[in-house]
Structures are given as C-alpha cells and as structure tokens.
Homo-oligomer: A and B are copies of this chain.
Amino acid sequence: TFLRPQIKITKYLLPATDGDTKTMTFLQEVVDILLAYIVESFDRETKVIDFHYPNELLQMNNWELQDEPATLDDILISCRATLKYAIKTAHPRYFNQLSTGLDMVGLAADWLTSTANTNMFTYEVAPVFVLLEYVTLKKMREIIGWPDGRGDGIFSPGGAISNMYAMLLARFKMFPEVKEKGMSSVPRLVAFTSEHSHFSIKKGAAALGIGTESVICIKADQSGKLIPADLERRILEAKQKGFVPFFVSATAGTTVYGAFDPLIAISDICKKYNIWMHVDGAWGGSLLMSRRHRWKLDGVERANSVTWNPHKMMSVPLQCSALLVREEGLMQNCNQMHACYLFQQDKHYDLSYDTGDKALQCGRHVDIFKLWLMWRAKGTIGFEAQIDKCLELSEYLYNKIKDREGYEMVFDGKPQHTNVCFWYLPPGIRYMEDKEERKKHLHKVAPVIKARMMEYGTTMVSYQPQGDKVNFFRMVISNPAATFEDIDFLIEEIERLGQDL
C-alpha cells in the first residue's frame, strides 16, 4: 500500500494539501475490496452468511471506538471484517426478505449518490435529484393510472413512513383543523385494514395519536384477501357507535401471503362512505410494471394514495419507497410549517421545486437516483421482465411442492405474488395421528431448519406463525439472481436439514 500502515490515515486524505493521489489510492483500495465482495456474493459456492452469535461476533474483532486514530491498515481490516460477517444479500440463494438481490446499476447509482452527498429539501442544494424525483413520481402516477400523471408524492424512508404519511393526509383532508388543534378537536376517528395487513398501519395510528384500538381489523378470506362485506359491516358498526371512519388501507401484496385485496370493491365502499382509500402496495405495487400481472391491482387508480417500494420487487438498493397521492397540494398544506430560514420565499428560481416543506423530515436522503438510473438502464420493459421472472419462479416452486410428499400448503390455490407459504413435515411427524401433538411438533420444525440454514450458510428463507397456524416457511422471490436450480436447491436443502426432525 501507498502509506506505511502505521501512518494516520486521515491526515493524508483530501482536503489535505496534495491529498489527491493518496485519496484516489485509498478509495481505490476500498473499491477493490468491494468489487471482490460483489463477485463473491453472486457465487453459489460462497456462503450466504458466515453466522456467529452476537456475543461471539462482538469478540471476533475489535469493534470498540477509541480516542486515538487508527491506521490505514486497520481501516481496511475493518472494511473486510464488516463484509466477512455481513449477509450476502446479493446471493442467488438469499430469500429471507422482501428486499433481496443487488442490482449493479442501482449500486453504481448509490455510490454516485453518496459522492454527491446532498439532501432533497430544496432545488438549491439538489437541483438534478429534485428534478429526477419530479420526473419519476410523475411516471409512477401515470402507471397507477391517474390522468396525465397528475398528483403529488414523495420518496420517504420506507413503507412504514409512507403509510404513515397516507394516514396523516387522510386525517388532514377530513379535519384540516387537526394540524393546529390536535386530536382533541376532532371526533373519534377509526381506520380499517385487513387482519393480514402490515403492522405499520397500527404503528402509524399509535404515533399519530389515533391509537391502535381505532384500527379495526377486517376479516380476510383463506387466501389472505380482505372481505369487502366485512369491511362495510364494520364501517356501519363504527358509525353507529358515533365514530368517524376516515381511512381504509387496502393491501396490494400482503407481507406473508402476498395477497391482493379486491381494490374495486373496496373503492366502491370508500366512495359510498366518503373514506380515504389508501393502497399499501409496498410489496405488490411493482406488479403495476407488468402487463401480465397488473390486473391484480385493478382499481388502484381509484385510490387516494398508494405506497410503492421499488426497493422490494424492483430490487432497487435500500431504501427506496414512494408515497403517491392523487390530490395536488394536499401534502404541502398538511405538513408545511413555513420555516423562513429554510424555505426563503425571495429566491431567484421557481420555488415550486423546493419540496422540503411537504415532508415530515427536514433533511431527506437522496433515494431517487438509484431508481432513476436503473429505470434508464433497464427501461420499463426490463423491470417488467425481471418481475415476471420472479413470479415464474414462484409458480415453479408452487407447482413443485403442492402435491409433493411431506409438504402442505398454508392456503389453497396459486399464490398471486411470489409468496409461497408452506409447511415441510419431516417423515417422523408426517403420519402422527394426534393432531395437537403433530401441530406442536410442526411448530418447531421451521425454526430449527432456519437455524441450521444459517449455521451452514447455504440459504436463508423466512418463517413465521400466522393466526392459529403454526410456524411455516414463507418463501418470497424478489432476487433477480435466482434461477430454477436455486428453487430446486432450496427444497433439497430443507429436506436435508429437516429430515431428522
């Protein structure tokens, strides 16, 4: 290396005088580490994870912060150690989350974003990124089906915050005085969402002072779709109690089953009772990019707001979540505080591009460039092909296991998203007669297989219970690196690791 290891690194890097060459050499050394990691991540011979228990990992490296500066060598060692024990989220057999995979153009764009190191609150400090957000949000609204792509929106730090924005807007739309006077000025509000919906709806209600008890959970059918008749019944029931229904959150792609709520029927009910209709498409919204699958979101254009996370099914690097809003100007009115020290009104350019005051955040990370550059590189048809392929893989998995010995599906029928939910029954419990006993055993199977997967580091997939259903695997595919062979591998691995249980 270019510096003796014991030399204190930061003194020699820019902005130090004559720091150019040393800086470029240092950054190049880090990039070389990263490039090697990337290539390794895609290699099926590599472990997905080199797992260690927290207490072990704490002792495997010196992670403590010191008063004194470290050497160049120590910094490079820290980078290598951090990657050594990281999850390889790009690995073709990493299926653990709704966000998997690593797109090379997205990564390049994220490196550029870090280098530009600015924030989104005014055109003044992020001219290009502000325009790209404008262009991209408009395109996403066109895809939703709003006329001429009109409306509003924002990229927020994740789907939970996007959903919270939607609830905030719905409340403000109905009772604008809530902004100044708080919840004590409004009647008891109630929100509705399916029992299978994401926990962020309740989390939002708790934060916004609405309260989790005011989120009424609507029954879902066996495949996880909200039952519209139950929604209407519960709305009427709430109204009879004198409560004010203000928000329905339909889910397009539930977290566990990947179910799509029936948006048209829900929108009819929302219209009838004058309730804000939100579609939480954090997971399923990306299917709008697919001509083959977008019918699953029919009716989304009737929504007042839509959450759509390109960091999930479109494999944009984390984080990238959009809230799209049909009504223009509402976000601004709801959230603006007119801080004149941030949003000067006498600047020399068109102030409509200073979008910071419609956000809950002040500084806001630039999440747009990754999505924009990937869209550029793939085109809409490239995203479509990527999404269609993931759905094909999940159909392959479903067909492979639905009648296979030792498997039971958690719900009937072909999954609508890439979620395939199933139990693996090891031979020893396959024919147990006592149903309660069998259930008790089965509950422990997935956690043990998962723990073994992590210890071997061969693959990772999620499991969870749901309602009265004991632990089952939820396989999801959003990883563009996955192939049919990887699906075969997953099944073989589950059987290898679980057959003795």
Q: Quick one: closest B residue to A255, CB to CB?
A: B341
Whether B369 and A118, one on each chain, are in contact in the complex, defined by CB atoms closer than 8 angstroms, is no
- Measured in the bound complex, the distance between the Cα atoms of B69 and A376 in whole Å is 6
Closest Cβ of chain B to A309, distance in Å, is 8
Interface residues of A in 104-153 (CB under 8 A from B): 104-105, 107-112, 114-119, 123-132, 135-136, 139
The answer to whether B362 touches A365, judged by C-beta atoms less than 8 angstroms apart, is no
- Which are the 6 A-B pairs with shortest beta-carbon distances? A209-B209, A182-B211, A183-B183, A15-B481, A183-B209, A199-B339
Q: Is the CB of B82 within 8 A of A116?
A: yes
Instruction: Select one of B39, B127, B208 contacting A52, CB under 8 A.
Output: B127
Interface centre among A52, A198, A209 (most CB of B within 10 A): A209
Q: Are A377 and B124 within 8 A (Cβ)? A: no
- Please tell me if A75 contacts chain B, counting CB pairs below 8 Å: yes
CA distance in complex: A211, B255 (Å)? 33
The answer on a CB contact under 8 Å between B27 and A465 is no
Residue A236 at the B interface, CB < 8 A?
A: no
Q: Nearest residue in B to A351 (C-beta to C-beta)?
A: B54
List A386-403 residues whose CB lies under 8 Å from chain B. Answer: none
Q: Is A181 an interface residue (CB 8 A)?
A: yes
Cβ < 8 Å to B, chain A residues 161-216 = 161, 164, 168, 171, 178-185, 188-189, 198-200, 202-203, 205-214
Whether A69 contacts B26 by the Cβ 8 Å rule is no
Given contacts A184-B183, A373-B79, contact A158 B362 (CB under 8 A): yes
A222 interface contact, C-beta 8 A: no
Is A66 interfacial (CB 8 A cutoff)?
yes
Kindly identify which residue among B13, B57, B104 contacts A26, using a CB–CB cutoff of 8 Å: B104
Contact between A381 and B67, CB atoms less than 8 A apart: yes
Partner pick for A157 among B66, B361, B451, CB 8 A cutoff: B361
> Which residues of B sit under 8 angstroms from A78, Cβ to Cβ?
373, 376
Q: Are A161 and B10 in contact (CB under 8 A)?
A: no
Q: What's the Cα separation between A250 and B490 when bound, in Å? A: 54
- Residue of B39, B161, B209, B346 touching A447 (CB-CB under 8 A): B346
Most chain B beta-carbon contacts within 10 A, residue among A81, A117, A118, A211: A117
CA distance A112 to B214 in the complex (A): 42
A37–B23 CA distance with the chains assembled, in angstroms? 12
Residues of B within 8 A of A378 (CB): 10, 69
Alpha-carbon gap, A24 to B79, bound state (A) = 19
List which A30-81 residues lie within 8 A (CB) of chain B.
Answer: 30-31, 33-35, 37-39, 42, 49, 51-55, 57-58, 63-70, 74-75, 78-79, 81
Known: A86-B116, A105-B9. A75 touches B182 (CB 8 A): no
Whether the Cβ atoms of B111 and A30 lie closer than 8 Å is: yes
Closest Cβ of chain B to A275, distance in Å, is 18
Does A464 have its Cβ within 8 Å of any Cβ on chain B? Answer: yes
A5 adjacent to chain B (CB < 8 Å):
no
Residue of B with least CB distance to A107: B114
Give Cα distance in the complex from A343 to B54, angstroms.
Answer: 16
**A311 at interface, CB cutoff 8 A:** yes
- Residues from chain B with a CB closer than 8 A to the CB of A416 are none
> Is A256's CB within 8 Å of the partner chain B?
yes
Q: Which residue of B lies closest to A84 (CB)?
A: B128
